[in-house]
């Protein structure tokens, strides 16, 4: 079992819909990232957070440390939001390193 789990793996929605992608982790973390991976493979960092909530444009990221859970929300989704979103966490203990979820492929239909 992966220490960082994402759901859903694939998500298709209509343009304008409110999107939620979930990330849960099994151990304590120091920080969590939400990343966007484009078709060519390049990765862009959207958010880094260790508590609370962050907002940038139509994107909102929240984290609940006690419940070991984070969500990425997209409001007023648009076809250009279609790509892969990845959750990654710095897991505490021993060899601290960034551990990645398997990603969520989002497709927004016009």
Partner 1 sequence: GAVVSQHPSRVICKSGTSVKIECRSLDFQATTMFWYRQFPKQSLMLMATSNEGSKATYEQGVEKDKFLINHASLTLSTLTVTSAHPEDSSFYICSARVDRYEQYFGPGTRLTVT
H or E, element range at 107: strand 104-109
Nearer to partner 1, 12 or 18 (CB): 12
Nearer to partner 1, 77 or 104 (CB): 104
Q: For the CB of residue 61, give the shortest distance to partner 1 in the complex, in Å.
A: 14
Nearer to partner 1, 97 or 110 (CB): 97
| Residues within the interface to partner 1 (CB under 8 A) | 2, 30-31, 35, 40-45, 48, 50, 86, 88, 90, 97-98, 100-103
Joined tokens for residue 57: 């444009």
Determine the 3-state secondary structure of 21 from DSSP. strand
């Amino acid at each position: 079992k992966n220490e960082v789990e994402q759901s859903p793996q694939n998500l298709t929605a209509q343009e304008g819909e409110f999107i939620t992608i979930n990330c849960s982790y099994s151990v304590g973390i120091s920080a969590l990232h939400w990343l966007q991976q484009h078709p060519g493979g390049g990765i862009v960092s959207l958010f880094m957070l260790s508590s609370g909530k962050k907002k940038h444009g139509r994107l909102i990221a929240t984290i609940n440390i006690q419940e070991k859970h984070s969500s990425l929300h997209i409001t007023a989704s648009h076809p250009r939001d279609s790509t892969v979103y990845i959750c990654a966490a710095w897991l505490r203990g021993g060899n601290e390193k960034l551990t990645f979820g398997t990603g969520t492929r989002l497709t927004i239909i016009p």
